[in-house]
Structure 1
Amino acid sequence: MFALSFFANALTVPHLAGTTEIKSVPKRIVVLEFGFMDALAKLGVKPVGIVADGDTATEVLPHLRKYYGPSIPSVGNRHAPSLEKILALKPDLIIADENEHKTLYPQLSRIAPTLLFRSYRGTYQDQLDQFDIISRIVGKEALGRSILADHKSLFSKAKATSSAKAGKIVIGVLTPNGFYVHSDKSYVGSLLEALGRDNPARMRDDQTQYLVSLEGLTALNPDTLIVLFNDEHQGAFDRFKAEALVRALPASRQNRVYTFNRDRWAKGRGVIGLEGILSDIFTSRVLTGKAAK
């Protein structure tokens, strides 16, 4: 976890591109990833600019829409934000993602002080650490501690359902292009590990999540399988589940194939997103080793 330091009423923030001095509580913040949007929303701080899956503010994640409507300008797609739109908002702080915005960092830091964190390819713990830092940057440290304490309570409730009977759990996103497994160093993969379950998928070629063949999935031999997809890919899931190699998995034979919404799980980084994921885990009994409802 990064350690913040104070000097002459300024806050020195270490991050993945070095350190940045923040001389006062920022009032005009632009956030370039969903996890950072989640943090500000939970802390009751309204940014001046956000990003989306598309190009407009209406294309943010469903669980964030009540916090970020069309009244907050979008600076474009989170994978390729517009520098011109960011500049026009005159921010006094930009919070960016290492995976998506590392090459843009020099330009961003010329617009305003910029922090570079690992959210898009970050772990569960990364999300909590970043929330803690952001709460202090925006002058909401006490509120941030209270929110993290509430999260810990919800996390403990979900972890209490975890049983060795669930065995090895593999989780991944299903698209028409195939199954993208999430390793133990990915966001949701590391969350499962923190909840006490073994995720046999490991990083590959420095990638926390990657495409696996059906043979590769067979090699992981999951006792419980979590498949994340959106409604428009229901047909892809039906075909996937009917595959002979998938039907032969221990998870399939024991009726422990669970499905959840891709956006809610794979993109729901941050405390608000985790509330939804942990609620799904508790109500579905996915960690108990019992058959899926």
Structure 2
Amino acid sequence: MTSLRRFCMTATGIAALSATLPASATTLETAFGSVEVDDDPSRVVTLYTGALDTALTTGMTPLGAVATRGGDGVPAYLSDATGDISIVGTPRETNIEAVAALKPDLILASPQLSESQYQLLSRIAPTVVPDVTPYQMDSWEQEAQVYGKALGQLDAVNEAIDEVDAQTQAIREDVADSPTASLIRWMPQGAIVMAPQIFSNTLLARSGFTVDDGDTVKEGRPHSDPLSLENLSKIDNDWLFLATLNAEGDEAYQAAKQSPAFDRLDVVQQDHVISVSGQLWTSASGPMAAQAILDDIDTAMHEMK
């Protein structure tokens, strides 16, 4: 990745790529103040999976995106829709020069984007950073609506959110007695428990589950520290949704499955362990991700009947 220092040395040249806004523009309130965007952007770069997901929801295929966590391309659930999209960084680091080379007229970034990165990106094109509090029940919806406004497609985004609401209500009718559930991501270092407030767990809660982290996640954190096999009993709930990100995580999980500590869990004995995609369940957000996660939940509930 190109360092920020190197980029700053060429900032003047990159700034020249910034397009003059047309007369038809919309002003958005963002995390870094008011931003004017073209009412009909055509060259969009997304620096956050939630932004990519939302753009695709509206029918817009961005020119560039960042790779998913644990991979070198977009999340598998979006790969068919994106085609041969340019990868311009990772969730941790954006290749600023690669973004500039695409000559975007709009950049959609993560709510966690730093101000220093914002200042660099905004030299290239109007950069939209949603002013949204993370880890709330409706954080993903608020983000999607900001991106929808930036794309001039708020109605399409709201329609997709309504479809998600209908899908969760349908699942809730099939889920009896508010069963407890946990979501973990198995890493080479062990299992980490995902916080109840993350995107996929809010969907589990809306679908009728009581999400329980066993008091393993510190306040304000997205997940716990890795648990030992012996401490897995803290999340021995009615259901366990279990994700991995890559081959190393898969191998660690397969090894853990052979241990007596894992096998004696009630949720294992009840055969209520549901394997899910880590890229989707622990790293994604947006309307398309919500529908894919709810499809997983619905499938699991019907298979267990």
Regarding TM over 0.5, the answer is yes
Distance 2:113 2:146 in 1: 20
Give the Cα separation in 1 of the matches to 2:49 and 2:37. 22
Residue by residue over 1:28-80, the C-alpha shift from the partner in whole angstroms, topping out at 9 and shown as x without a partner, is 221001111111111011323222248x9x7211221122122x332233321
Question: What is the CA-CA distance between 1:102 and the residue it aligns to?
Answer: 5.1
Contact 2:49–2:68, Cα closer than 8 Å, also in 1: no
TM alignment of 1:60-209, pairs within 5 A? 60-70=74-84, 72-99=85-112, 101=114, 103-117=116-130, 122=135, 125-164=138-177, 166=179, 168-201=180-213, 203-204=217-218, 206-209=220-223
- Asked if residue 241 in structure 1 is aligned to residue 257 in structure 2, the reply is yes
Provide structure 1 residue ranges, at least 5 long, that are not aligned to the other structure.
Answer: 1-7
Q: Which of 248, 258, 282 pairs up with 2:298?
A: 282
- Displacement after TM superposition at 1:203 (Å): 4.4
The one-letter amino acid of 1:158's match is: I
What is residue 61 of structure 2 aligned with on the other side?
Answer: 46
Equivalent-residue separation in structure 2 for 1:145 and 1:98 (angstroms)? 19
Q: How many angstroms does 1:129 deviate by?
A: 1.9
Do 1:51 and 1:60's aligned partners in 2 also have CA atoms closer than 8 Å? yes
The yes-or-no answer on 1:19 pairing with 2:31 is no
Gaps of 5+ in 2: 1-22
Cα deviation digits, residues 113-163 of structure 1 (max 9, x gap): 2222389x6556222222222222222233233222222222222222222
The separation in 2 between residues aligned to 1:230 and 1:49, in whole angstroms, is 22
Deviation at 1:27, TM superposition (A): 2.7
Aligned to 1:5: none
Higher strand share: 1
SS in 2 for 1:170: strand
2:47–2:91 contact (8 Å) kept in structure 1: yes
Aligned partners of 1:38 and 1:271 also within 8 Å: yes
The structural deviation recorded for 1:108 is 1.5
Aligned 8 A contact 1:183 1:190 in 2: no
* Structure 1 residue 183: Cα displacement: 0.8
Contact 1:118 1:126 in 2 (8 A): no
Cα distance change on mapping 1:282 and 1:205 into 2, 3 Å: closer
Partners in 2 of 1:208 and 1:48 — Cα distance?
Answer: 29
Instruction: State the alpha-carbon separation in 2 of the partners of residues 84 and 145 from structure 1.
Output: 34
Q: Following superposition, which runs of at least 4 residues in structure 1 exceed 4 angstroms of deviation?
A: 100-103, 121-124
| Change in CA separation of 1:64 and 1:165 when aligned onto 2, cut-off 3 Å | closer
Deviation at 1:176, TM superposition (A): 1.8
Deviates most, 141-150 or 275-284: 141-150
Q: What residue number does 1:266 align with? A: 282
Contact 2:189 2:226 in 1 (8 A): no
Distance 2:204 2:265 in 1: 20
Q: How many residues align?
A: 278
With over 3 angstroms needed to count, the CA separation of the structure-2 counterparts of 1:212 and 1:161, relative to structure 1, is farther
CA change 1:205–1:157 in 2 (3 A) is closer
Cα distance in 2 between the residues matched to 1:208 and 1:219: 17
Aligned alpha-carbon RMSD (Å):
3.0
Percent identity between matched residues is: 23
